[in-house]
Amino acid sequence: MKFRFIVMAWIILLGVCLIPVFMRTEVQTRDMVYYNACVRYVESGGEVPEGAVVISPSDKDYEARLNAYLKNGALVMDIKDDGMVTGKIIWDDSGEHKAAEERGMFIRGMIIWVAVAVCGTCLIVFIYLRYIRPFGKLRKFAGEVAKGNLDFPLEIGRNDFFGGFTESFDIMRTELQNARAKEASLQKAKQEMLAELSHDIRTPLATISATCEVLEVKNPSPDVTAKTGVIKSKAATIDSLISNMMSASLAEAEELRVDPREESSELIVTMVNNLRDVGEVNVSGKIPECLLYFDPLRLEQVIDNVVGNSLKYAGTAIDIGYTRQDSGVVIKISDKGPGVKEDELTLITQKFYRGSESEGLSGSGLGLYLADYFMKKMEGDIAFHNAPGGGFTAEIFVRKV
């Protein structure tokens, strides 16, 4: 639309500039018959015709005036009386000639300007068709690709100056299309692999649970019952995690699902008691009896991750205590190890981050990241700091209903 407006403006401007070309610019040629008739008329005593001047040799400035008229190219004719020159009759059309010359120069200038304007317009049209319009197509193509429309073709003109450049963009679109199809195929294969893997894992888990039940029947001592209870609880946790992973993968979820709800604080006591067989865990105090807002599976993961990290990196006994607050309960987990470097405390909840103390130890750098993520989803919080007397402490805040 802008280009059409520019072209129309140029056409109107050119038309206005061409108007002077058709104006009359030449000076009328001198008709000597007319001038001779005028001379005879004056010699016979008639009046001086309009546009003519008569000077006489008796005039004071006769010679100066005559020379000036001759210098201007005026028509000078003798006035005679009985064969004697008695004066001069002069027609001075130098002003008209000068005006005609100026008009001629103006018209020539206009013609040159019109020619330049026409050439400039042709050049603009050429640049638009040759360079600007192809870039407009590329901009539209880029917008469609950004929207995810990879089926939008990029047309290539026969005389397109950017033909190779345009073709490269179209090849890129095709490659993106192929990459998307390949990604979808890989995603499907991953989902199928997860389904098979979950089946393969659940089979030994069922065996573990069945073995625990057999042990409880054959040896119903309190110690064996307690240990088999822990094994069955962890097997159930693994089974729940596998189910959650499968549902998240099959639904193509971008985040792990967290379902917080009203639960009794006594459930946390069971989670902590299950830790006694994995290491030396000392529990002090009693958790307040109240309703808390959390996801049992995710909160158990948080506690297991924190305790597991302390056992792995500190290798000391674990102290667990409870603190009641107006808005919830704080679970405080501490070890007696060297702690974490102060400049790394703010980084340990980042995905895949592993501190300088983790060299030579297995891990993925996801444990504390997931713990922080789960607590935020449960509208709680988790904070880490080094104890003044040494050791690393994690404080898990669980919101009260």
Q: What is the CATH number of the domain that holds 378?
A: 3.30.565.10
- pLDDT single digits (tens) 55-102: 888 888 888 888 888 888 788 888 888 778 888 888 887 777 677 778
**Is 142 part of any domain?**
no
**Do both 192 and 304 map to the same domain?**
no
d(CA 331, CA 337): 19
> Average pLDDT over the chain, rounded to whole?
79
Q: What pLDDT is stored for residue 368 in this prediction?
A: 87
Final residue of a domain: which of 225, 250, 275? 250
Domain count for the chain, please give it. 2
- Here the CATH number for the domain that contains residue 227 is 1.10.287
Judge whether 45 lies within some domain. Answer: no
How do residues 335-354 score in pLDDT, each as one tens digit? 988 888 888 888 888 877 77
| Segments forming the whole domain that contains residue 300 | 266-399
Q: Give pLDDT, residue 169.
A: 67
CA 129 – CA 134 distance, rounded (Å): 8
Cβ neighbours around 7 below 10 Å, total: 14
Please tell me whether residues 270 and 394 are part of one structural domain: yes
Residue range 15-41, pLDDT digits in tens: 655 555 455 444 455 678 888 888 888
Question: Tens digit of pLDDT for each residue in 242-295?
Answer: 766 665 555 444 456 789 999 999 999 988 888 877 778 899 989 999 999 999
| Alpha helices (H) along 285-380 | 296-313, 367-377
Q: Both 287 and 360 in a single domain?
A: yes
In a shared domain, residues 321 and 365: yes
Q: Is residue 73 part of a domain?
A: no
> CB under 8 Å to 250, separation ≥6 — which residues?
191, 194
Query: Is the confidence at residue 332, as pLDDT, over 90?
Result: yes
Answer yes or no: do 277 and 243 share one domain: no
What would the pLDDT profile of 204-248 be if each residue is shown by its tens digit? 776 788 788 888 888 888 888 888 888 888 888 887 777 666 655
Whether 180 maps to a domain, the answer reads yes
Scan for tokens 């979950």, then name that residue: 198
Q: Do 388 and 350 have their domain in common?
A: yes
Rg (CA), the chain: 52
